[in-house]
Amino acid sequence: MDFDHLLDQAIEMLQRRGRLTYRTLKRQFELDDETLEDLTFELIEGQRLARDENGTVLIWAGKADGTLEVASQSEQVTPSPVIEADTSTPIEPSPIETHTPEAERRQLTILFTDLLKSDG
């Protein structure tokens, strides 16, 4: 079986089940360690359809059509309106959340500025 065919079958199996151990992939497709490493690297880094959990499990990260899933609305960061701050008072950073979520999440703040109509 060529690598492309193997990759397609692994994607279909992972998509159907949602989670697969590396051991299952190795046994199902009779893979040696090097081929398993190539396959998981392609799924995680190359195609970005899966993510690793503890170095032993692949978790499906794509949509049903094989494209990358966008974070659900509850996971998305809602941008805050821009407020002019009083610079005379030092701003203290908000406390860091102590709960560790399953996946790594990062807050992103975006500032949009209209430079064309800035008359001053």
pLDDT of amino acid 116: 72
- Average pLDDT over the chain, rounded to an integer: 75
pLDDT of amino acid 68: 44
Report whether pLDDT(96) > 70.
Answer: no
Mention every residue, 6+ apart, whose C-beta is less than 8 A from residue 79: 109, 110
Domains and CATH numbers, the chain: 3-60 (1.10.10.10)
Chain-centroid distance of CA 9 in Å reads: 22
DSSP symbols for 74-107: TTSPPPPPP----TTSPPPPPPPP----SS----
pLDDT in tens, 42-76: 999 999 999 999 989 999 988 755 444 444 444 44
Mention every residue, 6+ apart, whose C-beta is less than 8 A from residue 21: 56, 57, 58
- Whether the CB-CB separation of 18 and 60 falls below 8 Å is answered with yes
